[in-house]
Amino acid sequence: MCGIVGYIGKKNTDLFSILKAGLIGLEYRGYDSAGVTFLAGKGFEVIKCVGSPTKLTATTTKLSSIGIGHTRWATHGGISERNAHPHFDCKGEIAVVHNGTIENFAELTAVLKKAGHRFTSTTDTEVIAHLIEAEMKKSPFKTAVERALSRVVGAFGIAVISKKEPHTIIAARRGSPLLIGIGKDSLMVASDQNALVAYCKHVVYLDENELVVLTPDRFSVTTLAGASVIKQKHALTEQEQTTGKGRYKHYMLKEIEEQAETLAAGMSGRLDEKNGMPVLGGIRQILPRLKNVSNIIITGCGTAYHAALYGKYLFEQIVGVPVRAEIASELLYEKVNEPPDRTLVIFVSQSGETADTKDVLVELKQRGFLCIGIVNVAGSSIAREAGAGIYIRAGVERAVASTKAFTSQMLALALLGVTMARQRGMSKIEGSDILAEFKKIPSSYRTMMRILKPKIRTLAKKLVDQSSLTFLGKKYSYPVALEAALKVKEISYIVAESYPAGELKHGPLALVDKDFVAFVIAPENNLFDKLSNTIHEIQARGGSILLVTNQDRRREKIIKAVRDVIFVPPTKFNFVYPFYTVLPFQFLSYELALLLNRDIDKPRNLAKSVTVH
């Protein structure tokens, strides 16, 4: 959450525009308020606003070669210009931007106030500026930053500039992501590459507890304890450099419609159909250890957890070992009693920076568990910490509501599942059949989209005045029900609930009346009879049913009795259906939000990358 950007160059330039553009690239990380500061002449120019960084307006035409900026997702302190970053020390000589949370800021603030420091905000970040101010009375800039951060408990990704050091940016990270961008005549620092792709072709990823000093023509990295670190430079791919909306009004719609291509990319070069075996380079070195796995844990947060739950059902079915799917923020506080030497833990995260997921990874890796990351950002913290994994190749996902990452996460889990199943006796023929079925998905998506878009648009108009919607499914359809409810509530703000269909009679049936509307997701033949009982229970009490299923003559009687039906393509394998059944709900949530005039790409109170607890 929150996004920071810093720039230092060899020449003066229109730095306000560069910093603002960088923040717009980061605004999916937080958009409660924004601000920039840059050195011009002998002082700081400061520009802040409440709301999106697009609202930042230049108040000067002064040029500069060094500055920092921030887009905020509020944790401590209300949403106001006063609390917008950057924050300053008492004399206005040190400016700080910060992503993270300072857990001991109240204690530090009390000590600093007693020493005469004056605070102007109610944020936790301002304490960092005052700590650096106090340390600079007796130490040079870099040492002062190191000593200040040694007193901080919590997570941070920070960038600092000082009037006394007008040719230096210092940045550091612990728990919050940070990377360095290398441009032609400049260096940048940012929370992620979206802030700097227009100016930099190469990046360097900072690791935990590292600090970088940037000057106009070089950078040097050390640990927070001062030890030198040699870093690798990484080229940004063409896909990583392409982040615009193109012809689309919203990133979300663009990302929904990109899924045929992103799923194809996720399979490209990875399907050995002749031998019925996925080819996953990121896990090649651990294949021998995978043969000995007797337990699997899959964990993630939000949409990534829903993908994890899909993975649980799939691994249980085709790999045949006990599997549990856990919400990472809860797994942090649970006992993990499985034997580390025979347990695989899979960490699912779009950004690769999700704080709770990353914390579980660090803990379990230290205990000797075999860990795999499934991420969308190759150089992310989870990718580097896990050491082995699968890059989902979904491309940059800018909308807060995840769509293409979800289907790509399911695909990565499925390919891993087939890999492990082939190690354990799945035949080459069955493996080939499964891969062939997955290969059909992109083409099926293109057909579905042409049919679905007008149908869902009409359906959304009929549902837009609903105060609530309910989504029901069994087994593979349950993660889809969870994801459908999440998409609807997070961007349309309509109350949406999801349940395993069998749980309806254990309480939620009390909600059913003439205004009740439920989507029943029932594509699998072997579960349809059970779900038809749920349909009858709702209809008997006056509720309405919208059915998502495949065309089957045996279902005609029920299909005629429901309010509406959405057909999905048939498939040989029940674990392929979620790819088809989730697509209508992605479109539905979008169309509902559009009719309700919501901020679709940036829903209220949310941020894309959750890097704080």
pLDDT at position 276 over 70: yes
Arithmetic mean of pLDDT, 485-511: 94
- Report pLDDT for 149: 96
Q: Assign 29 a pLDDT band (cuts: 50, 70, 90).
A: confident
Examine the domain organization and report whether 343 and 459 are in the same domain. no
pLDDT at position 528 over 80: no
Examine the domain organization and report whether 32 and 147 are in the same domain. yes
pTM of the complete model:
0.84
What's the CATH code of the domain at 403? 3.40.50.10490
pLDDT at position 553 over 70: no
Residue at 421 is within a domain:
yes
Examine the domain organization and report whether 309 and 201 are in the same domain. no
Examine the domain organization and report whether 109 and 187 are in the same domain. yes
Examine the domain organization and report whether 433 and 330 are in the same domain. yes
- Report pLDDT for 554: 67
Examine the domain organization and report whether 213 and 189 are in the same domain. yes
Residue 300 or residue 201, greater confidence: 300
Arithmetic mean of pLDDT, 400-424: 97
Domain boundary among 417, 439, 461: 439
- Report pLDDT for 533: 86
Arithmetic mean of pLDDT, 225-251: 81
Examine the domain organization and report whether 36 and 123 are in the same domain. yes
Arithmetic mean of pLDDT, 169-178: 92
The distance of Cα 338 from the centroid of its chain, to the nearest Å, equals 28
Examine the domain organization and report whether 469 and 587 are in the same domain. yes
pLDDT at position 400 over 80: yes
pLDDT at position 263 over 80: yes
DSSP state of 236: P
Q: Pairing mode, if any, of strands 468-473 and 495-500?
A: parallel
Domain boundary among 241, 266, 284: 241
Residue 488 or residue 234, greater confidence: 488
Arithmetic mean of pLDDT, 178-193: 93
Looking up tokens 């891969």, which residue turns up? 435
Which residue range(s) make up the domain with 48?
3-241
Domain boundary among 424, 439, 454: 439
Q: Which of the residues are catalytic?
A: 2, 608
Arithmetic mean of pLDDT, 173-185: 91
Examine the domain organization and report whether 523 and 577 are in the same domain. yes
pLDDT at position 238 over 60: no
Examine the domain organization and report whether 193 and 326 are in the same domain. no
Structure tokens given for 226: 């001062």
Q: In terms of C-beta distances under 8 Å and separation of at least 24 residues, what long-range contacts does 112-120 make, across chains too?
A: 117/89, 117/90, 118/90, 120/82, 120/88
- Report pLDDT for 413: 98
Examine the domain organization and report whether 434 and 457 are in the same domain. no
Q: How many domains are there within the chain? A: 3
Query: Distance (Å, rounded) from C-alpha 523 to C-alpha 235?
Result: 43
Nearest to 47 by CA among 67, 73, 27: 67
Residue at 191 is within a domain:
yes
pLDDT at position 239 over 60: no
**Dihedrals φ, ψ of 416, to 5°?**
-65, -40
Residue at 422 is within a domain:
yes
Residue 75 or residue 5, greater confidence: 5
- Report pLDDT for 308: 98
Q: Assign 227 a pLDDT band (cuts: 50, 70, 90).
A: very high
Give the number of other CB atoms < 10 A from CB of residue 25.
25
Residue at 74 is within a domain:
yes
Arithmetic mean of pLDDT, 93-107: 92
What is the three-state SS of 523-553?
CCHHHHHHHHHHHHHHHCCCCEEEEEECCCH
Where is 577: in which H helix or E strand?
helix 577-595
| Dihedral sign, Cα of residue 444, residue 447, residue 453, residue 455 | negative
Examine the domain organization and report whether 361 and 485 are in the same domain. no
pLDDT at position 552 over 80: no
pLDDT at position 551 over 90: no
